Amino acid sequence: MPHPIRIGVGGWTYEPWRGTFFPEGLRQADELRFVSRALTAIEVNGTFYRTQTPATFRKWARQTPDGFMFTLKAPRYVTTRRELAGTKESIQRFLGSGLEELGPKLGPINWQFPPNKAFDSADLAGFLDLLPDRLNGLPLRHAIEPRHESFHAPAFGALLADRGIAVVQATDGDYPEIDAATAPFAYLRLMGTQEGEALGYPASKLDRWTTRLRKIAKDRDVFAFVISGHKAANPAAAQALIQRLA
């Protein structure tokens, strides 16, 4: 039986989506409720920039239906540090900010490194050892998003596979795409939507992505987010993929 495939976009607060993706007149306070019924997951960008509160995570959980999932971008005060292995207290501060309030709606955490962060095996191993697999009894899943070509290294995949941590596969964009099955789930960021395409991608490309995601789902849960590119079209691309996969 195939594994679940969840499709979404990055965030839900974006003015150009109002009146296009969001119906005219929809209250801003109701946008998450709308998104969570049109898509099946969201990658939260706000957690990258600032610490959230337990009340915020609790509100998100209450506004969304069963089965919907949030992936969280880990905070930049962790991932942009020169020495990742020395971030224990910062990681604990993030994990202690109330993530467990999402309960079963908590998806993977995306630890996105800056483009100038090169692969350092010892430092990365020390960092990965700081990532717990549970939070107050709630299972945690972690994914690493490298943005430097040096991560195209067998040692990188081996470090992740030893710990069941995924590599974020950045596709159709400017960053290195590393396709390695190192965890029981896959995490993809589709970054190539184009202006002038009503659905972000040509129909043929959407069909190819549908086939590719189904193939991955034979072995792993899938989280795929239409990110960056021509952002105004990203919800349409995500919905088109959901329809094809159905």
Q: What is the CATH number of the domain that holds 12?
A: 3.20.20.410
Q: Give how many domains the chain has, as a whole number.
A: 1
Measure the CA–CA gap between 140 and 205, rounded to whole angstroms. Answer: 32
Phi-psi region of 67 (alpha: psi -120 to 50; beta: other; left: phi over 0): left
- Domain holding 102, by residue range, is 7-185
Q: Evaluate if residue 2 carries a pLDDT over 90.
A: no
> What is the pLDDT at residue 173?
87
Establish if 117 belongs to a structural domain. yes
> With contact defined as beta carbons under 8 Å apart, do 149 and 116 qualify?
no
Q: Give the separation between CA 152 and CA 204, rounded to whole angstroms.
A: 29
Mean pLDDT over 136-147 rounds to: 97
Position 240 in a domain: no
Question: What's the CA gap between 82 and 202, in Å, rounded?
Answer: 40
Q: Would 208 be classed as within a structural domain?
A: no
pLDDT, tens digit (0-9, with 9 covering 90-100), for 74-125: 999 999 999 999 999 999 999 999 999 999 999 999 999 999 999 999 999 9
**Does 85 fall in a domain?**
yes
187-218 CB burial, b ≥16 within 10 A, e <16: bbbbbbbeeebebbbeeebbeebbeebeebbe
Q: Determine, yes or no, domain membership for 230.
A: no
Per-residue model confidence (pLDDT) at position 42? 98
Residue 205 lies in a domain: no
What secondary structure letter does DSSP report for 113? P
**pTM (two decimals):** 0.96
Q: What percent of the chain has pLDDT over 70?
A: 100
pLDDT given at position 1: 78
In a domain, 211, yes or no: no
Residue 207 located in a structural domain: no
Whether 241 and 224 have beta carbons less than 8 Å apart is answered as: yes
Q: What is the pLDDT of residue 166?
A: 98
